[in-house]
Amino acid sequence: MKPLEQDAAHLWDMLDAARQAMAFSDELTFDQLLNDALTRYAIERTLEIIGEAARRVSPETRATIADIPWQGIIGFRNVLAHEYGAIDYDRLYTVLKDDLPELIHTLDHALSQIGERS
């Protein structure tokens, strides 16, 4: 697989996981997030997938999609995966409600651009 194709696959993984997280959290209140372990763990896992896929995107492609906070996404994944006792659920909820819609939009656009180049 060519590097651009690999990056497109990772971007698609990010997009798919972001959409899943949005579906899991649709109309979810903060209190519901805290009290529903199954949904909370599902959301945490989708955010881990986003971060892991982001880590695998090449530096060249990351540089061309500067609207994505790559280091923040990867760092948040590391907290979820390795420091789960220190998860800031206020931050997680903000990511769900404020950051994911924009990430989805940016990834959709980036993938359409990559499709036009191939």
| 9-59 per-position pLDDT tens digit | 999 999 999 999 999 999 999 999 999 999 999 999 999 999 999 999 999
Spatial contact of 73 and 21, defined as CB atoms under 8 Å apart = no
Question: What's the pLDDT at 84?
Answer: 72
Active-site option among 10, 45, 55, 82: 82
Active-site option among 19, 45, 55, 77: 77
| Tokens encoding 24 | 């899991």
What pTM does this model have? 0.92
Look up 109 and say whether it is catalytic.
no
- Helix (H/G/I), strand (E/B), else coil: 112: helix
Task: Say how far apart CA 43 and CA 76 lie, in whole Å.
Answer: 13
Residue 6: Cβ within 10 Å count: 14
Look up 82 and say whether it is catalytic.
yes
Task: Say how far apart CA 16 and CA 58 lie, in whole Å.
Answer: 19
